[in-house]
Amino acid sequence: MVPMTQVVAVAGEPVYLPCDIATQDEEDAVLLVLWYREDLGTPIYRSLYNIFSLLFVLISLKGNLASTNMSCTRTFLSPRIHETTSKGFETDFVMNLCFVEPCLEIRRRPYLGTHSLRHTRLGGVTIFANVDARERDFGVAERWSDESVFASRAYFLPERRPAELGVDRVKASDQGVYRCRVDFKQAQTRNSRVNLTVIVPPNKMVITDDKGDVKQAIVGPYIEGDTFTLKCDVSGGRPRPWIKWFRDEVETDTPATPLSGNGVRGVLHVGPLTRADVRAAFTCRASNHPRAHPIETTLTLDMNSYISIRI
């Protein structure tokens, strides 16, 4: 069974999805890391290492590949990877797995230096590779991210233990189950899964009084002996937020009622008022996760003075 890791993120913040790429064999190496989202059928992120090691592994498996009935209309890797190395070489890398005949072509064009020409046949297609005999820097990864999912928000961090796929400014639509597939030069392919839960903080708060009037800073005026009720309606969060009323930063009993659309209403009953209530501050505060920043509104009580005159 593929192991599952639970990850919780707050919308708008970065999130890191773990993927174990470690190997115990010093002779082994990571060739390819693919990320999938379970509701989509194709990879959403790819990190490709050691292109030529991957080529020769595929050549060694050409019999199995050629005999496999694969029908696809999409390339396994990107249609073309164009790479210019620090040592002055250009690489065009094309790989397609289409129907029963996989086709892979690598062309390496040296600007300077000695190179050797290698060729073989894979699934009936001749493969030519011009390789600089002095160049061995295959550790730099070619990376691709699906524009319709993470686009430029995603980046792979292989140096971490375990390695992680970082995603900046996580969105509500990013919530889902992800699978990381790691292909090695020697070891068996490894799969792991991550269940990403995205917390969406509430974003709207409306406070009304007994008359249904919206209150934003001041409530009143009232006089001694009056009573009133404040309703605080909160919406826009996932999961449903909790809601609390405070009087001068002291929490009060807050009956809460669920509303449609994952909203909630908190009710505060105040009174009978006394002179001690003048300029009291009533705060409605709502959140739905300890890491999510709460939203709140504070109202100040306005009271008229009541003067008793005896004649």
pLDDT value at residue 80: 35
Strands (E), 87-227: 89-98, 101-110, 115-122, 125-132, 142-145, 154-157, 163-167, 176-184, 190-199, 204-208, 214-215, 218-222
pLDDT tens-digit series, residues 51-74? 554 554 454 444 444 433 333 333
DSSP-derived 3-state class of residue 153: helix
pLDDT value at residue 2: 83
pLDDT value at residue 111: 34
Contacts of 75 (CB under 8 A, 6+ apart): 95, 96, 97
| Prediction pTM value | 0.69
Least confident range of 76-90, 135-149, 173-187, 239-253: 76-90
- Distance, in Å, from the CA atom of 214 to the CA atom of 105, rounded to the nearest integer, reads 68
Tokens of 10: 């707050």
Least confident range of 40-44, 224-228, 243-247: 40-44
Contacts of 299 (CB under 8 A, 6+ apart): 207, 215, 216, 217, 218, 219, 230, 281, 282, 283
- Distance, in Å, from the CA atom of 94 to the CA atom of 97, rounded to the nearest integer, reads 10
pLDDT value at residue 132: 28
Q: Are strands 89-98 and 81-84 parallel, antiparallel or unpaired?
A: antiparallel
pLDDT value at residue 152: 94
Is 80 exceeded by the pLDDT of residue 193?
Answer: yes
The domains of the chain, with CATH numbers, are: 4-199 (2.60.40.10), 204-303 (2.60.40.10)
Least confident range of 101-115, 144-158, 178-192, 235-249: 101-115
pLDDT value at residue 195: 98
Is 60 exceeded by the pLDDT of residue 136?
Answer: no
Contacts of 264 (CB under 8 A, 6+ apart): 233, 234, 240, 241, 242, 243, 256, 257, 258, 286
CB 195 within 8 A of CB 34: no
Per DSSP, the residues of 46-77 read: EEE--HHHHHHHHHHTHHHHHHS----SS-SS
pLDDT value at residue 24: 85
CB 154 within 8 A of CB 145: yes
